[in-house]
Structure 1
Amino acid sequence: MFARLVALASLAIGLAQASTPLPTVHLDHATVIGLTNNSVTSFTGIPFAKPPVGNLRFRLPVPVAGYSGTINATRPAAQCVQLAQDLRADMPAEIQTDIAKYLATILMPADVPQSEDCLTVDVTVPEGTKAGDKLPVLVSIYGGKAVLCAWVQGSTAQYPMDTVVRRSAELGEPVVVVAMNYRLHAFGFLGGKEVKNSGVANLGLQDQRLALRWIQKHISAFGGDPTKVTIWGESAGGMSVGYQMLANDGDAEGLFRAAVAQSGSPLPTGDVADLQRAYDAIVSRVGCAREADTLQCLRGVPVQAIVAAAGTLGGQFSYQGTAGVINWTPHADGVFLTDLPQRLILKGAVARVPLLSGDVLDEGTLFATSSFNATTDADFAAFVHDFSFPGAPAGATAPLLALYPDDPARGSPFGTGAADALAPQYKRIAAYQGDLVWQGPRRFFLDAVSGTQPVWSYRFERETFTGLGTPHGSDYYELLREANDMADYLVHFTHALDPNGAPSNRTIGWPRYDPVRRQVLRQLAGDVPLDVADDFARLGATEALMNLTLAYPL
C-alpha cells in the first residue's frame, strides 16, 4: 500500500509539473491517467479482474466490481508469474550461436516485476482519440516470451503495440489496440481430474474471455467500438484465438466479429484429466498430497513453491524423453472446451467469423534444436512416439518415418539442400514438429471452416537465419518492428473484415483459402515482397499426422 501511495504522489507531482496535461479516461467513478509518446497514447495495467490470489487462486476470474479514485496507467503492468524455459546448456556451440543471432533481432522489454496480481489490460490509441469516436478494436493475445515459451511465459509488457497503432493512423484507418495479461503454466493451465471436477481448468483462456467482456463494457470510454472487435494473436496467442473461436461451442457471444491467428491454430490435444501426472507431481512436491482437498491446499502454498514444482516437469527445450510442454497446453475440460478441439472443429462448433491464419516456412526449427542428441533413425522413431504419441501402439507411428525421411534436403529449413544440418536428425525433426504443431493444425482448421466463413492464409518466407531458416515468430517480430505490409492487411481487415483494399501501395490481392486450390499470400524478401503461392507441400504427411492425432490426441 505504501508503494502505491508513493507512486500516486509521484504521479501528482508529475501532473503538476507537466507543460501539457496527461491524457485521462473516466471509468465508472475513476480517472485513468495515461501517457502520450510519438502520436500514440497508452493506458497500461488497468485491472479487469480481482487479484487471483489466496482463495481466488485456481478459480475462475472474478470481474472487477467497479472503479473509483485515480488509476495510474503510466507504467508497465506486472507480468503474470513466469516459468523459466532455458535452452539446454549442453547444446553444441553452433546451435547456440544460430539461436543467439535470431534472438538478437527480437524486441526484448525492460525487466518488469512478476505477480499473481496480474489480470490487467493495456489500451493503446492514436493520440487525440476520445470517447465516442467508435474506432474498430484490435485485441492482442500474446504468445510466449521471445515467442518461444508458449503458455509459461509472456506478458503485455513484452509486446508493445505502439507501432501498429501509429501505422493505423498513418493509413487513415485508426484502431484501438487492447492487450491482456492472462495466467500461465500451473496457475493458468493446471490439469488433472481434481481441476476438471472443480470446473477450473484452462484458467488462462477464461482470463482472456473475461478481458473480452471487459472490452464490451468499457472500451467506448477509450474511443473504441465494442461491436467491431477483432481478436489477434501469435504462437500461443494464435492458438488462443482458435480456442476462443471454439469456446461456448462456437458462440462468440458478440465478443468479437473477426479473428487473426499468426503461427497458431487449435492443437489436437486430449482431455485435461489426462494431465494427472503433472497435478500429482506438483501436489506431492509442495506437501499437499495427504490433504483431503489437495486443490484447496494448493491455494495456500507460497507462489514460488508452485513455480519450483512446475519447473521440474520439463519443457519445450528439455527433450530427454519427456513431453513437458503438453503439461501447460489447453485441453478439453467440459466447460470452456466442451469436447476435444478437433472434434469441435469437425462438428462445426466454431465461431463463424472472418479469419486470417498463417505460418512461417520453418516453424519447427527453433524447437528441434534441443533434440540434437537424436542421431539415428531409431532415435527419430523414439522421438515421434515418446514425445508426441506415448499412448499409441508402436506400429501406429511407424508410417511417419517414411513421410519424414532421413534426408536433410527434404527437411527444415526447407529449400537449403544439405546445408543447416545442425545435428544428424535435426532437419527431419524440425520438419516433423513444424507440421505436427503448426502446418497440420492450420490446414485441418481452415479446411473445416473455409466453407462456412471467409478465410485467408499466408506463408512468411521473408527473414532467414543460418541454421534456422525462417523461424517461428519471425513474421510477428517484423510486423511489430516495422509495421510492414502485413500490418496494413491487419489494420484494414480490422476495419473492413477483408484484408484486401488497404489504403497503401504495399499490398496485393489476397485470394481466399479453400481446400482445393489452397492459395496463400507469400511474404518474401527482395524486389517482389508479396506474391500468391500454393499450400500443397507435404500435404499427405500433414493429413496423416492429423488423422493420427484424432485417434491419439496429444
Structure 2
Amino acid sequence: MPCRFLITLALQAAFFTTAAPAGAPIISLDGGTFTGVAVGSTESFLGIPFAKPPVGNLRYRLPQANAPYQGSYDATSFGPSCPQKSTGIPVLTGLSSRAAEAVVNSVYGEISPDAEDFTPRSQGGFDSGGPTIYDGTVIVARSITLGTPVIYVSMNYRYPYAASMILEREFTFLRGFGFLPGKEVKAAGVGNLGLQDQRQAFRWVQKYITQFGGDPTKVTIWGESAGAISVSLHMVANGGNTEGLFRAAFMQSGAPIPVGDIANGQESYDALVNDTGCSDASDTLACLRTVPYGALKGAIDRSPRLFDYQPLRLSWLPRTDGVFLTDNPQRLLQQGKVANIPYVTGNCDDEGTLFSLSALNVTTESQLKAYVKTIFLPEATNEEIEELAILYPGDITKGSPFDTGVLNAITPQFKRIAAFQGDGVFQAPRRWMLQNTLPFNPNVWVFLSKRLKFLPVLGSVHASDILNVYGGGELTNYLIHFAANLDPNGESGFQWPKYALGSRQILTFLDGLVPLTITSDTYREASMNYLINTTLTYPV
C-alpha cells in the first residue's frame, strides 16, 4: 500500500521512508543509484538534489529542474545548508540568568555549514534553520506504530538569515538570495525565488515519489513559522490552483502575511547593490550575479537582522511580485483566490515575546508610539497609532506572556510590544485566513499551544509547539492522521473538533494535569480586527 507523505518547509533535506531491510537501503532514480542509511525501522535518503544549484549565472533566476540522474550517489548525509544571514545576539539586559539561558538554548542551535550550492535541506524564518536540526525519523517511526505509514520529505530553499534555531525557525526570510525585493527583480520576473524553489521541489516529488513507495496524489505540505507562511502562500499562489502538487496543508504559527508590492523593499535592494559595488552597473541585477559569494553574503549580513530593533519588519521576505503572488496575500484571501483544501492551522500563545527582546529600550508611552510609527506603521496617522495604543494598553497584566499577571514585565512596555507583535504578524493573519476560507471550506482544524507558560519572559514562545511534534507529543499523531486521512483525529484519543465561524472551537494544549481542552477562538477580537484592517491599508 503506497505511503502518504509530508513535505516540510524549512526543515532538513531528505526522504525518510519505512521498513528498512538489513544492510544499506538503495533506490534507483532515472539512471542513478542512491545509497541511503537505515535508522531503526526507517530508511533515510539524504541530500538528493532536486534542482540545479543556483550558482553562477543561475543566481537570482528561477529554479531549473535537475538533469536525469546518472551514476552512483551517497545519500547517507546532508549537504550544506542554504546561505544564511547572521542574526545578532539579542540584548538580554534585565533578564534573569534562567531566562537568558532559555533564550539562548531555544534560539541558537547547531546547523551544518552553509553554501550557495546546496542540496535539499532547509531552514526557518525565511532566514535560517537547517535540516540536521529536525529528525524526520521520529515522525515516520510513529506513523508505523500507528499503522498509517507516511514518507517524510524536506527540502532546502534559498533564504536569507543564519539565525539557527533548534525548533524550526524564525521569521527570517530567504535572505537576499531567495527573497530579493526591488523593481528590477519584479521586471525580471524573479521574485520570491525561495517559494519558487519549494514549488520546484513539489514537482520533483510528483515525478519521483513513487520510487520511494509514495503516492503523489496524497501530498500534505507542512511547515512552522516561515515554513507555515510558505505553506499558506502556496495556497494563494496561482489564484489558488495547487496544480495537483498537494492536497492538504498543515501550518504552525504562520498564515498569509500583510505584505505589499515587491518594490516596497526597494531600499534594501539599493543598499545591497551599493554595498556590493554594483550601483554603477547598467544592469544591477546582472551585476549581483557576478559578485563573489563571500562579498554578497557579507553585504546581506549587514542588513537588519532578526534581533535588531525592527525584528519582524525584515529586508528580505515574500512580497507581491506579479508572478507567484499577484496581490497582497491577504487581499487574495479576501478575493477567494485560495486553494479549497483541508488544512490545520494554529499558534503559540506568546508569539511575540521572542521578537520583542530587541526593544527593551522602549520604556515609555511616547517611545512606544514612536516605535510603532517608525517600525511597523510609518504611513499610519497619529490617530491610528493612538487607537492601537488603546487596544493594546499599558496594563502589564494584559500583555504577553499572557495570563501571567505582573510577572515578566522586564520593562514597562515589553509585554505590550510582545502582545501586538505576536497578534499582528501571527495570530491576526490566522484569524483573517479562517474568516475568508470558512464560508466555503468546512474542513479546517485550529489549535493554540499554551504550554511552557512557566518559561521566564518568553512564556508559550513562538515555535515551542515544534516540541509537540519532534518530541513525540500529541501533535505528532494529529499530523500523521491528517496526512493519511485528511482528518487529524484517529480512532482513539482526544477528539479535535472542526473549526466553524459560529462556534470557533480550538484544540488547546496546556501545562499540568489536563493537557488538552477545547476553548473558544475569540480572545482579543477587537484588537486583532483593528490590526488586520490597519495592515491591509498599510502592508509592508
Contact 2:311 2:358 in 1 (8 A): no
User: What is the CA distance between 1:394 and its match in structure 2?
Assistant: 3.0
Q: Kindly report which structure 2 residues correspond to 1:153-192, keeping only aligned pairs within 5 A, or say none.
A: 153-184=128-159, 185-192=175-182
Alignment of 1:91-110 (within 5 A): 91-94=92-95, 97-104=98-105, 108-109=109-110
Which residue matches 2:263?
A: 273
- Is 1:328 the equivalent of 2:316? yes
Task: Tell me which residue corresponds to 1:358.
Answer: 346
* 2:504 counterpart of 1:518: yes
Partner of 1:491: 480
Quote how far apart the aligned CAs of 1:324 are.
7.1
Q: Would the aligned equivalents of 1:234 and 1:263 in 2 still touch at CA under 8 Å? A: yes
Q: Give 1:157 deviation, angstroms.
A: 2.2
Secondary structure of the 1:275 match is: helix
Query: In structure 1, what residue type is equivalent to 2:61?
Result: R
Q: Map 1:385-396; keep pairs closer than 5 Å.
A: 385-396=373-384
The Cα of 1:160 is off from its aligned counterpart by 2.1
Unaligned runs of 5+ in 1: 1-18, 122-141, 145-149
Letter in structure 1 aligned against 2:152: V
Q: Structure 1 residues 513-522 or 170-179, which shifts more?
A: 513-522
TM-superposition CA deviations, 1:3-33 (whole Å, max 9, x none) = xxxxxxxxxxxxxxxx953101110000011
Greater Cα shift, 264-273 or 305-314: 305-314
Q: How does 1:527-546 map to 2 (within 5 A)?
A: 527-546=513-532
For 1:425 and 1:56, the matched residues in 2 are separated by: 46
Write the distance in 2 (CA, Å) between the matches of 1:323 and 1:466. 20
Among 450, 458, 464, the alignment partner of 1:461 is: 450
- Deviation of residue 365 (structure 1)? 0.6
> Which residue, out of 338, 341, 349, partners 2:326?
338
What corresponds to 1:131 in structure 2? none
Rounded to whole Å, the distance in 2 between the matches of 1:549 and 1:117 is 37
Structure 1 residue 549 displacement after superposition: 0.8
TM-score using structure 2 length: 0.90
Give per-residue Cα distances to partners, 1:137-164, cap 9 Å, x unaligned. Answer: xxxxx652xxxxx111123222221111
Partner AA of 1:114 in structure 2: D
Is the partner of 1:179 in helix, strand or coil? strand
Instruction: Give the whole-Å Cα distance in 1 for the aligned partners of 2:216 and 2:22.
Output: 30
Amino acid of the residue matched to residue 113 of structure 2?
P
1:259 counterpart = 2:249: yes
Determine helix, strand or coil for the equivalent of 2:302: helix
Contact 1:193/1:273 (8 A) holds in 2? yes
Q: What is the distance in 1 between the residues matched to 2:297 and 2:100?
A: 26
TM-score between both structures, scaled by the size of structure 1: 0.88
Match of 1:5 in 2: none
SS of residue matched to 1:82: coil
- Contact 1:50 1:119 (C-alpha < 8 Å) held by counterparts: no
Q: Secondary structure at the match of 2:314?
A: helix
Contact 2:25 2:43 in 1 (8 A): yes
CA contact (8 A) 1:362 1:414 kept: yes
The structure 2 residue matched to 1:449, chosen from 426, 437, 448, is 437
Shift of the 143–380 alpha-carbon distance from structure 1 to 2, 3 Å rule, reads farther
Provide the residue aligned with 2:202 in structure 1.
212
Look up the SS of the partner of 1:398 in the other structure: helix
Identify the residue that residue 312 of structure 1 maps to in structure 2.
302
Paired amino acid for 2:147 = G
User: Which residue does 2:34 correspond to in 1?
Assistant: 32
1:74, distance to aligned residue in structure 2 (A): 0.4
CA distance in 1, matches of 2:434, 2:52: 37
- Compute the displacement of 1:312 (Å): 2.0
Give, as a single letter, the amino acid of the residue that structure 1 aligns with 2:372.
V
Q: Determine what percentage of the aligned residue pairs are the same residue.
A: 45
Q: Which residue does 1:126 correspond to in 2?
A: none
1:420-458 deviation line (CA, Å, top 9, x unaligned): 111121000000101001110000001111122211100
**SS of the residue aligned with 1:219?**
helix
Match of 1:114 in 2: 114
In structure 2, what is the equivalent of residue 400 of structure 1? 388
In the alignment, the residues of structure 2 paired with residue 550 and residue 47 of structure 1 have an alpha-carbon distance, to the nearest angstrom, of: 38
Q: Quick one: distance in 1 between partners of 2:86 and 2:105?
A: 19
Amino acid at match of 1:397: I
In the alignment, which residue of structure 1 is the partner of 2:53? Answer: 51
* 1:68 matched residue in structure 2: 70
Conserved 8 A contact 1:143-1:235: no
Counterpart code for 1:519: Q
Amino acid at match of 2:136: M
Give, in whole Å, the separation in 2 of the partners of 1:490 and 1:143.
20
Instruction: Give 1:95 deviation, angstroms.
Output: 5.9
Mapped contact 2:94–2:410 kept (Cα < 8 A): no
Task: Say which is worse superposed, 454-463 or 323-332, in terms of deviation.
Answer: 323-332
CA contact 2:25–2:38 (8 Å) conserved in 1: yes
2:169 — aligned with what?
none
Q: Is the 8 A contact 2:27 2:211 kept in 1?
A: yes
How far the C-alpha of 1:397 sits from its partner, in A, is 2.2
SS in 1 for 2:498: coil
Say whether the 8 Å CA contact 2:92–2:100 is kept in structure 1: no
Q: Note if contact 2:61-2:193 (Cα within 8 Å) is conserved in structure 1.
A: yes
- Go from structure 1 to structure 2 and tell me whether the alpha carbon gap of 1:547 and 1:239 turns closer, same or farther (over 3 Å shift): same
CA distance in 2, matches of 1:39, 1:21: 12
User: Match for 1:434: what amino acid?
Assistant: G
Structure 1 residue 552 corresponds to structure 2 residue 538: yes
By how many angstroms is 1:97 displaced? Answer: 4.2
CA positional deviation for 1:398: 1.9
* More moved, 507-516 vs 237-246: 507-516
Q: Which amino acid aligns with 1:494?
A: A
SS of the residue corresponding to residue 32 of structure 2 reads strand
- Give the superposition deviation at 1:107: 9.3
**Alpha-carbon distance in 2 for matches of 1:419, 1:155:** 34
User: Which residue matches 2:283?
Assistant: 293
Per-residue CA deviation, residues 136-191 of structure 1 (Å, 9 max, x unaligned), is xxxxxx652xxxxx111123222221111111111111100000100010000000
CA distance in 1, matches of 2:66, 2:405: 56
Aligned partners of 2:382 and 2:157: how far apart in 1? 38
User: 1:104-161 CA deviation, whole Å, 9 max, x = no partner?
Assistant: 367944x52211111426xxxxxxxxxxxxxxxxxxxx652xxxxx111123222221
Deviations 1:253-310 (CA, angstroms, capped at 9, x unpaired)? 0000000000111111111111110000000011000000000000010112112211
| Correspondence for 2:465 | 475
In the alignment, is the contact (CA less than 8 A) between 1:196 and 1:272 conserved in 2? yes
SS in 2 for 1:318: coil
Provide closer, same or farther for how the CA distance between residues 106 and 189 of structure 1 changes in structure 2, counting only shifts above 3 A. closer
Identify if the C-alpha distance between structure 1 residues 54 and 385 changes in structure 2 by more than 3 Å, giving closer, same or farther. Answer: same
Q: Does the CA-based 8 Å contact 1:447-1:514 persist in structure 2?
A: no
Picking from 366, 369, 372, the partner of 2:357 is 369
Does the residue aligned with 2:47 lie in a helix, a strand or coil? strand
> What is the deviation of 1:527?
2.1
Task: Output one character per residue of 1:322-373: Cα deviation in whole Å (capped at 9) or x when no partner.
Answer: 5674211100100000111111000111011001000011111111111100
For residues 95 and 359 of structure 2, the distance between their equivalents in structure 1, rounded to whole angstroms, comes to 14
Count of aligned positions: 503
**Letter of the 1:163 counterpart:** V
- C-alpha distance in 2, partners of 1:203/1:32? 28
Partner amino acid, structure 2, of 1:165: V
Contact 1:143 / 1:238 at 8 angstroms: preserved in 2?
A: no
Deviations 1:462-516 (Å, cap 9, x if unpaired)?
22311111100111123212x111111110010110112x14x4x3121111223
